[in-house]
Amino acid sequence: MTVHIPSALQSYTAQQREIEVTAATVAEALSELNRRYPGFRFRIVTEQDTVRPHMRIFVNETQTFQLNASIQQEDHVYIVCALSGG
C-alpha cells in the first residue's frame, strides 16, 4: 500500500512524500516505516500505543484511531498533522 507522509514529517523520510509498504494493519505499516526511518513511529504514536492527539490517520477516506485497523495492499494510508491555534 501507499503511505502518504505529511510535509511536516518528510524530514524523517528523506523528503519522501509517498512510501510503499507491505502490511496487514496500520501498526505494521508504521513499524515498517520505523524500521526504514528510525524514530518515525514515535512522531505519530505515544508510549501507550495510541495515536498522538495532533495526528490523524486515514485509510483511504476513513479516519481510524485504531492501530490494529486492517489494511489491504491496494489501500492508501494518509498521515495528517492536525492544525490548531487561536
Q: What is the span of the domain harbouring residue 67?
A: 2-81
pTM: 0.91
Tens-level pLDDT at each residue, the chain (86 residues): 999 999 999 999 999 999 999 999 999 999 999 999 999 999 999 999 999 999 999 999 999 999 999 999 999 999 999 876 55
Alpha-carbon radius of gyration of the chain: 12
Q: Residue 9 phi/psi, 5° resolution?
A: -110, 0
Cβ contact 24:71 at 8 Å: yes
Number of domains in the chain: 1
Provide the pLDDT for residue 82: 81
Is 22 within a domain? yes
pLDDT, position 86: 56
Domain-embedded: residue 64: yes
What CATH number is associated with residue 73?
Answer: 3.10.20.30
Within a domain: 86: no
